[in-house]
Structure 1
Amino acid sequence: MENQTFNSDFILLGLFNNSPTHTFFFVLVLGIFSVAFMGNTAIVLLICLDSQLHSPMYFLLNQLSLMDLMLICTTVPKMAFNYLSGKKSISLAGCGTQIFFYVSLLGAECFLLAAMAYDRYVAICQPLRYSLLMSQKICGLIAAASWILGSLDGVIETAVALSFSYCGAREIRHFFCDVPALLTLSCNDTLMFERMIFICCAIMLLFPVAVIIASYACIILAVIHLGSGEGRRKTFATCSSHLMVVGMYYGAAMFMYMRPTSAHSPTQDKLVSAFYTILTPMLNPLIYSLRNKEVARAFTKILGKGKSGEQSA
């Protein structure tokens, strides 16, 4: 008979134990979380407050920072609370909530990064039609479609994952409720669901990657034909930030979700998940702000206003 404990909580084994080394890494993760939280919040506020940043490129960057902000808040606070309190439990509802937001935000970012690549393609290869092809209405529809498609994937995966029966100690060898880690505890045959996840990931990852590759192939061809070396430098500087983010994000996501569950190692999964759910959201605002003169200018402008306001007071 199946030893089902449907109403009991799951146990998140987490990333760290109480050793001095793990305590140091826990403090380091909290530091990274703080930088990511403040950096993405700053990007969102800067783009909202500075009228010169009210353009399609920065609107999409605003959405990316908002997604990153929500992503780190989905996993890290619960992990930190469990570590500090000594409690490792998470309710079925809490687990489902984490799965929904985590899967939805990952999917939404996949489509948004593809939209950002298309925006760069239009700006560089179709500059005379840019205002038409990337109008405010179209940008709003692109952002809305990213959120909706990501949420649809989140609803499906959460509903199916929580429909299974879970047995035994219900110990999740992870620091948050992730679908592959959860499936190893199921009493049911999850093969069909694993195949569905693979197909969903293929669509959610490979289609945007194809759009990104096509966009940058056209951009590279356009840059090669630019007569000015200064023009080439500016174009590559504009696109390199986005390519760095795409490489980090898609590389980790494909490694994590486009393999069968049997090929997953708990330790490996935790490290890769920590990279793109904690470290990548910290790097995104740093990459965009340090390599983008307009964001740096807006930040300096806001700081200057703050200092002048303090002096006048």
Structure 2
Amino acid sequence: MRPALEEAIDRLLPEVSRILRYHLGWCDEHGRAAQLRGGRSLQAAMVMLAAEATGEDPQHAAVGAAAVELIHTMTELYDDAFDGDDIRRDRPTAWRVFGTDITLLAGVTAISEAFRLIATAPQGGREAAGLLGASLARVCGSYIHEVAFDSCDPRQISLPSLLDNAQEKGGELFGVGAQLGTVLCGHPVQEAELLVTAAHHAGIAWSVANDLEDIWGDAVLTGKRGGLDVKRRRHTPLVILAMQSGHRDTSRLQELLSRPDLDDDHAEQMIKLVEDLGGRRAAETIVSEHLRKSLAAVDRLSLPAPLHRQVRTLVQFAVTR
């Protein structure tokens, strides 16, 4: 996948290429080659494992893996800019280094290059493009839903809506990776059904686990400061679950959420309330339940033992690092 991705990025405008390379950890902010901390490339790995599962040459799907990595890179660039995050993977985020406007434009360029890559596939390109486009729309929808969640009473957000959004944000590209790997190898998309199910459940687990990490995670592993969502008074799954606990202290949590600003002392109070009201425990239950469902789907796959172990490892790593 890496050669196809490098070739695609090198084709872009130098200003865009530098932003994408920097974000991926391939160069420093001046464009000098470097080996910095990069992402986990989970979605791209799913493409290649799904391709291998077809029994065909998995290199047929390499353009799909590169395309999904470009789309995922776009989501991270936008995520950082929208949230105002200063650090990702132990270094300043792209928008902080290069500016917001050009970073967002680099994300748009990454999308266009992803679809150009898919168009070069020797087989299955048209179907793959349709699948990727629909998936991208659902990912964008998840960000729109998060904005809506933040502007409404967290007690009015249903658990199914919460989990659907977690799946779209955390599992959508993971699942479409399985589909791309299958159709780009000339096989019907239905063959990827169990892998998609596993990916979607893993995505729910990962998305909620990510919110847990934001408060109680190891900054060395996450590569950024914790507690940022709390200080922004975001209606994350943890907050929503805590507010729906029925505990009498939910009124105090609502009061903190309604404050125009939140200092460190108030943020600590909010974190304690989220835990005391059962938000942390309920979120950890969701993570465990959906990781179990993901692994159960993997265990139903008929794959050679080595490949089965790789898929199982990928799903577990997606959730637990």
Structure with bigger gyration radius:
1
TM-score by length of 1: 0.35
As a proportion of its length, which structure holds more helix? 1
TM-score by length of 2: 0.34
Q: Which has the higher contact order (CA 8 A, sep 6+)?
A: 1
